[in-house]
Chains A and B, each alone.
Chain A
Amino acid sequence: MKLIDLIRLVVNNLNRRKARVGLTAIGVVIGTAAVVILVSLAIGLQMNANEQLYGIGNLSQINVSPNYGGGGGGYGGPMVQIAGSLDTGESALLTPRAIKDLQALPGVVSVIPREYLNAQMYVTYKKMQGYSSIIGVATEDLTTFGLEADQGITGLSRASVVIGPQVAMGFYDPNLRPGQETPPPPDLYDQQIQLTILKYDADGNEIRKNISVRVAGVLAETGAESDWSIYMPLDQVASINEWANGFRVNRNKDGYTEVIVTVENPDKTIEVRDQIIALGYQAFTMLDFVQGINNFYTILQVVLGGVGAIALLVAAIGIANTMAMSILERTREIGLMKAVGATNRDVLAIFLGEAAGIGFIGGAGGVLIGWLAGQGLNVVAVVYLAQQAAQQGGMPPSVAVYTPIWLPVFVLLFSVFIGMVSGLYPALRAATMIPVQALKYE
């Protein structure tokens, strides 16, 4: 039997029992619409969550810090829960030799020590002052971290710094008298700025150190830490720290306080992170955090999809029932088909086709209704959520319910599949009927 003839016959047969087919299909409509709406909702929520995650940083980076031994690794801060470490009690320091070891791990692109300026300081530009975190990195070019310049260059040298785009926003005039107009944030690019570092001697006298540097580049916005930071060569920051804290660091003995490991791509991040932990260091990556969130939403999708699938299961029972009844009523027709030369496969295909057809009709209706309902929900919810965001701060969401194209396609195929599975047993019964018995059936 040709496919076109099969389809034509199936359509005719379904057409012949419009009321019953329609009623059976409504069950499928409800189930598929539920799946489409609920899964779209879960996807929409996930997209919102990911939008909020913007600025979480580079997902192919791993922050590694030394393990000083004695247990209770103090990475500090809220990240401590997701900063993994193997507490062996032995210390693992980030000495230059250790960095070479890390560099040798497969998938690692770069291992770059990093150190924050650890002293009281402020920045001056002309009459204005600002505060900013100063990060020393042992790299000649910030592109190693995936950073890009908005103005100027990303290269670091002793007499120049690269600053984040938000640094200038924090500048203010300390001598501003009340009533005077607040000056706009300065354009610091290619300007000399002065870093003032403070320390106190044993008698409590303030000692200042001034360093004048040129802003060689302003970074493009990332939403992450780099927006508010000033980047300098590591050695420079380290010597300022030594001056400020009066403590000389021997790298070969003490190691670095932190290194940033960059891997080829985010797929490798977790694997490399685990290897680093196995070497005894503390390591964490933002990917853990993002993956945790994504896993949650994947589970949410499955759960909500499952709720809809229960409705589909009920629909499947309906299809099975309708097909069983139909086959009983059409027993003589089946006998006739066989008498005129229909093979068992032909009969099977016809009844499976009818069951699949009911699934398809219901699926198409359900996808359409689910999609339309989702769009309607979007209009309402986005307005509502935008109001919320306006009141409580934060970014307004762009969507509440999102239906990716794969979802209706999948749901439609799935409902056809459900139809076929439900119709399989009745169709097999039809196909294997003994012709003479079917023909004589009263």
Chain B
Amino acid sequence: MTPLIQVAGLKRHYQMGGTTVRALDGVDIEIPAHTFTVVMGPSGSGKSSLLYLLGGLDRPTAGEISINGERLDQMDENALALFRRKMMGFIFQSFNLVSSMSAMENVAFPMQFSGIPVMERNQKSLQLLGQVGLADRSGHTPSELSGGQQQRVAVARALINDPQLVFADEPTGNLDTASGVTVMQLLSDLHKSGRTVLVVTHDQRMTRFATHKIFLLDGHIVSEEEYKSATLALDNQGE
């Protein structure tokens, strides 16, 4: 069986004035369906760059990205948008909720682009809010919710189009420990319900739920041992 996500020779270079930042510099990955993959790496190692490329939100400098056998790097903007709409859900470190909308409206937000009637959207939104434990907060705007609650709204929003794939970029990065654990638990539940989850983080605790682990250092994939020794060295340097 071919893996759900296949990446070969992936590069993402940024041009910064005269210098080239090699955020990703030749990455090969295979991720089977129904897995929980955690991409670990220190800050600046290229984790977010990788996630945005896999989500079709950015264009690679070189390399191939296939999801479900379809080449993302060859799709045009419109095809990418439609692909994201039916295949993917995103969770960001900074929640990215629309501040003027209620929790229910935020969760239902992606559905309005697919032409689903408003009644159905709201119904599904309420159901998902219940699933993340916020049934009683559906009418609240983001400013009336705690960080952990906001991120749970974001998780519900990622699920509204029933995507096969869920991408999360540092989902616990802005959260206190307890809230972080709740969100991790929710992501683990998504995996258990059959979705493919890919989390990018430098939060060591996430690896607890992982079926697959990927370690990134300076735009390259490394083994767990290499990663551990390198990060130890980094930590020692820090002290």
Across-interface contacts of A436 in B (CB, < 8 A): 52, 57-58
Tell me if B100 and A16 are in contact (CB < 8 A).
yes
Q: Does B90 contact A (CB under 8 A)?
A: yes
- The answer to whether A346 and B113 touch (CB under 8 A), given A340-B85, A435-B57, is yes
Q: Does B193 contact A (CB under 8 A)?
A: no
- The answer to whether A343 and B81 touch (CB under 8 A), given A434-B58, A435-B58, A436-B57, is yes
Minimum CB–CB distance from B169 to chain A (whole Å) comes to 9
Q: Does B234 contact A (CB under 8 A)?
A: no
A–B complex contacts, Cβ < 8 Å, 30 sampled: A1-B112, A1-B113, A2-B112, A5-B112, A5-B118, A8-B112, A8-B118, A9-B112, A12-B100, A333-B96, A333-B98, A335-B96, A336-B109, A338-B57, A339-B55, A339-B57, A339-B90, A340-B84, A340-B113, A341-B86, A342-B81, A342-B113, A344-B81, A345-B78, A346-B113, A435-B52, A436-B52, A436-B57, A439-B52, A439-B92
Q: Does B161 contact A (CB under 8 A)?
A: yes
Minimum CB–CB distance from A339 to chain B (whole Å) comes to 5
Most buried by A among B59, B101, B112: B112
B residues apposed to A, CB below 8 Å: 52, 55, 57-59, 77-78, 81-82, 84-86, 90, 92, 96, 98, 100-101, 109-110, 112-115, 118, 157, 161
Across-interface contacts of A342 in B (CB, < 8 A): 81, 113
Beta-carbon contacts under 8 Å, A107-149 to B: none
A residues apposed to B, CB below 8 Å: 1-2, 5, 8-9, 12, 16, 332-333, 335-346, 434-436, 439
Across-interface contacts of A439 in B (CB, < 8 A): 52, 57, 92, 96
Tell me if B82 and A341 are in contact (CB < 8 A).
yes
Tell me if A340 and B78 are in contact (CB < 8 A).
no
Tell me if A341 and B57 are in contact (CB < 8 A).
no
Across-interface contacts of B81 in A (CB, < 8 A): 338, 341-344, 346
| CB-based nearest A residue for B158 | A340
Query: In the complex, A1→B81 CA distance in Å?
Result: 12
Query: In the complex, A337→B112 CA distance in Å?
Result: 10
Query: In the complex, A333→B92 CA distance in Å?
Result: 12
Across-interface contacts of A5 in B (CB, < 8 A): 112-113, 115, 118
| CB-based nearest B residue for A346 | B113
Tell me if B84 and A339 are in contact (CB < 8 A).
yes
| CB-based nearest B residue for A5 | B112
Across-interface contacts of B58 in A (CB, < 8 A): 434-436
Query: In the complex, A138→B49 CA distance in Å?
Result: 97
Minimum CB–CB distance from A72 to chain B (whole Å) comes to 76
Across-interface contacts of B82 in A (CB, < 8 A): 341, 343
Across-interface contacts of B90 in A (CB, < 8 A): 339-340
Minimum CB–CB distance from A35 to chain B (whole Å) comes to 34
Query: In the complex, A439→B113 CA distance in Å?
Result: 18
Tell me if A344 and B118 are in contact (CB < 8 A).
no
Query: In the complex, A12→B108 CA distance in Å?
Result: 14
Tell me if A340 and B110 are in contact (CB < 8 A).
yes
Across-interface contacts of A434 in B (CB, < 8 A): 58-59
| CB-based nearest B residue for A342 | B113
Tell me if B78 and A344 are in contact (CB < 8 A).
yes
Across-interface contacts of B112 in A (CB, < 8 A): 1-2, 5, 8-9
Tell me if A341 and B84 are in contact (CB < 8 A).
yes
Known pairs A344-B81, A345-B78, A439-B52 / 16 extra A-B pairs, C-beta < 8 Å: A1-B113, A2-B112, A5-B118, A8-B112, A335-B57, A340-B84, A340-B109, A340-B157, A341-B82, A341-B85, A342-B113, A343-B77, A344-B78, A346-B81, A434-B58, A435-B58
| CB-based nearest A residue for B84 | A341
Instruction: Select one of B96, B110, B118 contacting A332, CB under 8 A.
Output: B96
Across-interface contacts of B77 in A (CB, < 8 A): 343-344
- The answer to whether A336 and B78 touch (CB under 8 A), given A1-B115, A2-B115, A434-B58, is no
Instruction: Select one of B85, B96, B118 contacting A336, CB under 8 A.
Output: B96
Across-interface contacts of B113 in A (CB, < 8 A): 1, 5, 337, 340-343, 346
